[in-house]
Amino acid sequence: MDERALIRAIQNGEEQAFKQLVDNYQLLVRNTCLSFVRDRYDAEDLAQEVFMEVFRSASKFRGESKLSTWIYRIAVNKSLNFQRDHKRRNFFQSLGDALFGTEKVLEGAIAAVEEHPEQHMVNQERKERIYRAIEELPERQKIAFSLSKLDDLSYQEIAEIMQLSLSSVESLIHRAKLNLQKKLYACYKKGI
Amino acid sequence: MKHRATKEKLLFFLEDTLSAPEKQEVAEHLSRCTECRQLLEELRKDWALLKLDQYTENDPYFYTRLKARMEKPVTSVARRVWQPALFGVLLVLAVSLGTLVGKQFSAEPVADVRFTSELVPFDGLQEEPIEQFLLTFE
DSSP string, A83-149: HHHHHHHHHHHHHHHHHH-PPPPPTTSSPPP-S-HHHHHHHHHHHHHHHHHHHTS-HHHHHHHIIII
Average pLDDT over residues A2-19: 88
pLDDT value for B67: 93
The full length of chain B comes to 138
- Structurally, chain B folds into a number of domains equal to 1
pLDDT value for A107: 46
Contact A65, A43 (CB under 8 A): no
**Which residue in B46, B49, B66 is closest to A51 by CB distance?**
B66
pLDDT value for A126: 87
Contacts of A47 in chain B (CB under 8 A): 62
Average pLDDT over residues A178-186: 93
Contact of A55 with chain B, judged by CB distance below 8 Å, is answered with: yes
Higher pLDDT, A168 or A1: A168
Task: Quickly name the fold that domain A108-192 has.
Answer: Arc Repressor Mutant, subunit A (1.10.10)
The residue range of the domain holding B38 is 3-48
State yes or no: pLDDT of A192 exceeds 70. no
Per the prediction, chain B carries an average pLDDT of 82
pLDDT value for A108: 44
Among A127-141, B46-60, B118-132, the range scoring the smallest mean pLDDT is B118-132
**CATH code of domain A1-104:** 1.10.1740.10
Contact of A183 with chain B, judged by CB distance below 8 Å, is answered with: no
**In chain B, whose CA is at the least distance from the CA of A186?**
B39
State yes or no: pLDDT of B75 exceeds 70. no
Residues of chain B in Cβ contact (below 8 Å) with chain A: 7-8, 10-12, 38-39, 42-43, 45-47, 49-59, 62-63, 65-66, 69-70
Residue A26, H or E segment: helix A15-37
In a domain, B42, yes or no: yes
Contact of A26 with chain B, judged by CB distance below 8 Å, is answered with: yes
A85: closest CA of chain B, how far (Å): 14
Contacts of A44 in chain B (CB under 8 A): 62, 65
CA–CA dist A91, A21 (Å, integer): 37
pTM more than 0.80: no
CB-based contacts of A11: which residues, under 8 Å, 6+ apart? Answer: A58, A59
Average pLDDT over residues B30-43: 92
pLDDT value for A124: 84
pLDDT-derived band at B78 (thresholds 50, 70, 90) equals low
How big is chain B by its Cα radius of gyration, in Å?
Answer: 43
CA–CA dist A28, A25 (Å, integer): 5
Q: What are the pLDDT digits (tens) for A91-133?
A: 666 666 666 555 444 444 444 445 677 778 888 888 888 999 9
pLDDT value for B110: 56
Task: State phi, psi for A178 to the nearest 5 degrees.
Answer: -60, -45
In a domain, B16, yes or no: yes
In a domain, B40, yes or no: yes
A146: closest CA of chain B, how far (Å): 10
pLDDT-derived band at A85 (thresholds 50, 70, 90) equals confident
* Cα distances (angstroms) measured from residue A111 to each of A116, A119, B44: 12, 12, 24
**In chain A, whose CA is at the least distance from the CA of B8?**
A178
Higher pLDDT, A138 or B133: A138
CA–CA dist A35, A175 (Å, integer): 19
pLDDT value for A98: 65
Share of chain B above pLDDT 70, in %: 80
In a domain, B31, yes or no: yes
pLDDT-derived band at B29 (thresholds 50, 70, 90) equals very high
Say if the Cβ atoms of B55 and A180 lie within 8 Å: no
A92-128 in b/e burial notation, b at 16+ Cβ within 10 A? Answer: eeeeeeeeeeeeeeeeeeeeeeeeeeeeeeebeebbe
Among A33-42, A75-84, B104-113, the range scoring the smallest mean pLDDT is B104-113
Domain residue extents for chain A: 1-104, 108-192
